[in-house]
Structure 1
Amino acid sequence: MDKPFAITLDVGSSLANKTGAWRTERPVYVDRLPPCNQACPAGEDVQQWLYRAEDGSYEAAWRKIMEDNPFPAVMGRVCYHPCQTECNRGQLDEAVGINAVEAFLGDEAIRSGWTVAVEAPPSGKRVLVVGAGPSGLSAAYHLARLGHAVTVMDAGDAAGGMMRYGIPRYRLPREVLDAEIRRITGMGVEVELGRTVTDLPAAMREGGFDAAFLAVGAHIGRRAYIPAGDTARVLDAVTMLRGMEGEGPPLLGRRVVVYGGGDTAMDAARTARRLGATDAVVVYRRIRERMPAHAFEVEEAVEEGVRMKWLSTIARADGERVIVEKMRLDEAGFPQPTGELEELEADTVVLALGQLPDLSLLRGLPGVEVADDVVKIGEDFATGCPGVFAGGDMVHSERTVTVAVGHGKKAARHIDGYLRGTAYRPAPRHAPATFNVLNTWYYSDAPATVRPRLDLARRTSTFDEVQGALDESTALFEARRCLSCGNCFECDNCYGVCPDNAVIKLGPGERFEIDYDYCKGCGLCAAECPCGAITMTPETG
């Protein structure tokens, strides 16, 4: 009987044949820009701090946030989270609750007393920051970390700017804001309150400052001409909200009409309800879809009993009456008067028509240009006056805390370059990680965690925080919902599916590499990568 036929494989022959030479395409590991990172005005590396939070490394996650943003506990509460709007997970089930996790990490840092050390050696340079709002304090924080001595001057009685004087306590508890400001001053940043800078060159000379960053907030309410009788009570929303931080709340009466359609109008109306107004009405000349206020702000206001009068404008105020004219949309979608009038009873009219910064400190500064009530700056945040930079509400931009914090960080880096005689150049960005590059089959359904909210009855009678916090278990779950769009998280899929054993593991945190001597370019690794971190590239030559 013949012996069975046997084949002996010579390992050396496979190596000698270099089977990878058959390829027409090769897999290449890439890093793509996650949509959350791309959308963050503060420039946070959202994906990376979520990755650290996934395994309970909360302090490491918090420190990653602090590389870009010194206010995670504040931002987790007041940011309008454009990162979540762009989150790819939203096309799978629901977006990751990024701001909820950020608030949890910020609160954990306050509870645990985590601080940030200044590790850079002293530069010997001094920087003046005018304005202790989100942009000014962000710039001060980053400049201090870069080794510069920073003094912040602010005309107010307390630091925080519009975070304190423009955002109500039910959205931002003051103990949270104060804790994050104390962390910045604990790094050596000096804050001088009650200091109005009217002559910037003189202030710089007297203090021996080498550069200045101007970050005066928009604390002046825009006015509109409304015919009003002598007995009509009219005030602007900025003054009203600022009065909440004084010795006593403003007296508004039982019937309040708010004129405007932005977030400040919503804050004013919701604050009026908490101060005892039985009827708070928002009058806005456009339709709801054109309202600049964020949708959830409008929804929460309506939940709290605020009435909305769309397509309406105030014609005049007379004593305890407000005459409202109804509008209609023309063919182009713009509101036009109809001549139809309606009477509303009102003890107070609150104007929420936007805010302006006080630019008086710019008088006499050579080279500084002002247009449309803001300062003109370059991409480096520099004004036309050497050594003077500006950001936040003083420049043309969206007026949010997140944008302001981002301005402070970016400006600090450019100021650092100016002081050192160099130029800061931002690193180039990767191509975006769009939803179509993901292999979502690997991700299980995991609906977003709903943050608890204060009972409606208490919302209209107290200034307690409306939006509740995640606990540790729900924060951990929410962080783990991140898809790691466009960046390898070492799931081992490529390693497991490769038929040629051409994928080499480099160790924890080091990812993988391809042995092209063996890789035949079948593309299985790219097809099975959950996060789109492998692309197939045609062979050339």
Structure 2
Amino acid sequence: MSTLHSEMSPVVNLTRRHAVGVERTSHPVYVDLLPPCNHACPAGENIQAWLAQAQAGHWHAAWETLVADNPFPAIHGRVCYHPCEGSCNRGELDSAISIHAVERFLGDQAQAEGWTVAKAAPSGKRVLVIGAGPSGLAAAWHLARLGHEVEIRDAGPVAGGMMQFGIPAYRLPREVLAKEIAKVEQLGVKIVLDHKVEDILAEQQAGHFDAIYIAIGAQVGRHIDIPARDAARVLDAVSLLHTTASGEKPLLGRRVIVYGGSGTAMDAARTAKRLGADDAMIVYYRDSARMAAQPFEVKEALAEGIKIKWLSSIKDISGETVTVEKMVLDDKGRPQPTGEYETLQADSVVLALGQTTDIGFLRKIPGIEFQQDGTVIVGDDMQTGRAGIFAGGDVVPAQRSVTNAVGLGKKAARHIDAWLAGTVWTHPSTHRLVSFKELNLPLYADVIKAREPELPAPERADFSEIVGGLDEAAARHEAQRCLSCGNCYECDHCYAACPEAAIVKLGPDHGYDVNLDLCTGCQACFEQCPCHAIDMTPEAAAATGSAPIPSEKELTA
């Protein structure tokens, strides 16, 4: 590790004094601003807070802070697309914090040591959750912690939804998933499997449920009309992944074509290789810059020998011959046909064209309305047009990902809890976002990012995990790379910089205060704060009695 002078941030000139005059015009105020990682997290995690606890080695406290928002860190540390890292200010210096890797470490540590959480006293209220996928499980977790009696009913033979049947085991080992689900059951949540709900109102009445949360997943593959005469085997990616996760090994043949550009398409092609295909090719009608799959998914697929044929659209399947038309992108980035064709050979064609939900049973309920795309219309409180029935997950208009589903489950739980109490839950107002240019980093540590180890042999035929986790030292090292954007971490820079001794230390974990009888408003403390936890406030604002800014911890409590 080396310490370098950064040319990316302004250097503070300690020999220069601000002309404060005979009357102070502004003074420092300690603030908590919103870190970009927190802002980008679909699950609403207070990432900066649990990273701060992790970098101090307070692992259990970090886990408790994390699961207050997201109960499944061992899952999300493996499968989340981590948009938090794409927003991380550290990326402007060297590389973003590997937040997902530290999250995975916390989740794995909790499983190894059997960490548990407390829950409130019984409320006397009963809630039915339909669907044991990520959104339903998250809602059940939060509702149980709030003291409600929760029962989940799911049509599948195993809980987990698409985490069980849509994400291959090489990305999410089933024992890890099972242990996270077991923590939900440890809170007293009852999970009833092989139970397809057909009549919600009848089940509500029979079970004496006070509220219902509908959280069924999108487990029906979309189809398109492709002429197929005496075709090679054609199936959808959802069915392939589901069948494989159930322990069966579909016979795909040696040559497999996967049609689509999503993460599901990548998983389907990589699964085909593990099932014995010699040649697995993805055919996609756009280019690499416009595909839905994440760049790291494409990279991993290519590393395993998957081929990708860009700007190609399947037009016909006849026997083992697949006819594709070459496409070009117009000035708006939309694919257009060229009239040029070529033929490919395939024993199987897998369609990875997206998923939809089976919501026919919801149309029987008076008051529930639907969007044109078939998703359920809900209010800001996630309640449908039928009082006491809430909906989330894949049945409402939202980005479809495990993390987003978990975030919707948490949001639904808070609204349901308030509705059961006869109140309304409103999201606390948040602070303004702190940007990289607002940080004062005349010196910073240029630290090499901790890397998760790649587990060997991508050519193997089994579904063992392909990426390892960090050890304790590496996890703490990675957490210590956090810049604590917008949140004071008591570095004493302000205390040391003040020429008038106006900064008062309040003790560990209590921060600082400003003695306004001594402060001249020179801004030395403001310019020396590396994380921008200080704002200079005009005296006029102080005279109006502006309210103190709540901390990020208070906002996420």
Pick the TM interval, shorter chain: over 0.9
Task: State the partner residue of 1:67.
Answer: 68
- Contact map agreement 1:274 1:462 (CA 8 A) in 2: yes
**Residue 23 (structure 1) shift:** 1.1
Q: Is contact 1:222-1:354 (8 Å) kept?
A: yes
Cα displacement (A) at 1:231: 3.9
Which residue does 1:14 correspond to in 2? none
CA distance in 2, matches of 1:94, 1:272: 34
Q: Distance in 1 between matches of 2:462 and 2:91?
A: 34
Q: Assess if the C-alpha contact under 8 Å between 1:304 and 1:460 holds in 2.
A: no
**CA distance in 2 between partners of 1:247 and 1:402 (Å):** 26
Counterpart of 2:34 in structure 1: which amino acid?
A: L
Please list every run of 5 or more consecutive structure 1 residues that lacks an aligned counterpart in the other structure. Answer: 1-18
Please give the alpha-carbon distance, in whole angstroms, between the structure 2 residues aligned to 1:144 and 1:509.
31
* CA–CA separation in structure 2 for the residues paired with 1:259 and 1:503: 63
Structure 2 CA distance for aligned equivalents of residues 253 and 432 of structure 1: 52
- The answer as to whether partners of 2:304 and 2:458 remain within 8 angstroms in 1 is no
Conservation of the 8 A alpha-carbon contact between 1:20 and 1:518: no
Q: Secondary structure at the match of 2:445?
A: coil
Q: 1:54–1:331: structure 2 CA closer, same or farther, 3 Å change rule? A: closer
- Cα shift at 1:328: 1.5
**Structure 2, unaligned stretches of length 5 or more?**
1-19, 544-557
Question: Displacement, 1:58?
Answer: 0.5
| Matching residue's letter, 2:95 | E
1:510/1:201 Cα in 2 relative to 1: closer, same or farther (>3 Å)?
Answer: same
TM-score (norm 1): 0.95
* Mapping for residues 163-202 of structure 1, pairs under 5 Å: 163-202=163-202
What TM-score, normalized to structure 2? 0.92
Offset, 1:459: 4.6
- The CA deviation at 1:363 is 2.3
Provide the secondary structure at the position in 1 that maps to 2:280.
strand
Task: Tell me which residue corresponds to 1:301.
Answer: 301
Please list the CA deviations of residues 308-343 of structure 1 after superposition, one character each: whole Å capped at 9, or x if unmatched: 111101111111111111111223332111121111
Whether contact under 8 Å (1:20, 1:521) holds in the other structure is: no
Looking at structure 2, the residues matched to 233 and 313 of structure 1 have their Cα atoms a distance apart, in angstroms, of: 18
Task: Describe how 1:14-413 pairs up with structure 2 within 5 A.
Answer: 22-118=23-119, 120-371=120-371, 372-413=373-414
The residue aligned with 2:13 is none
2:436 is the alignment partner of 1:435: yes
In structure 2, C-alpha distance between the alignment counterparts of 1:78 and 1:46, rounded to whole Å: 17
Residues in 2 aligned to 1:429 and 1:45: alpha-carbon distance in whole angstroms: 12
Task: State whether residues 227 and 316 of structure 1, in contact with CA within 8 Å, keep that contact through their aligned partners in structure 2.
Answer: yes
For 1:129, give the aligned amino acid: V
Q: CA deviation at 1:365?
A: 1.0
Larger radius of gyration: 1
Which sits farther off after the overlay, 227-236 or 57-66? 227-236
Provide the aligned C-alpha RMSD in A.
1.2
Query: Hey, what does 1:417 align to over in structure 2?
Result: 418
Q: CA offset at residue 115 of structure 1? A: 1.3
2: distance between equivalents of 1:436 and 1:366? 53
Aligned twin of 2:467: 467
User: Residue deviations 1:205-264, cap 9 Å, x none?
Assistant: 010001100000000000010100134311000000000122422111111000101000
- What is the distance in 1 between the residues matched to 2:197 and 2:21? 69
One-letter amino acid of the counterpart of residue 34, structure 1: P
Aligned residues: 521
Pair 1:454-2:490 in alignment: no
Give the secondary-structure state (helix, strand or coil) at the position aligned to 1:282: strand
1:460 deviates by 4.3
CA contact (8 A) 2:168 2:245 kept: no
Deviates most, 501-510 or 441-450: 441-450
Between the aligned partners of 2:36 and 2:172, the Cα distance in structure 1 is 27
Indicate the percent of aligned positions where both proteins have the same amino acid: 57
1:20 positional shift? 11
Q: Distance in 2 between matches of 1:52 and 1:315?
A: 55
Shift of 1:154: 0.2
Structure 1 counterpart of 2:37, which letter?
C
Bigger mean CA deviation after superposition, 526-535 or 437-446: 437-446
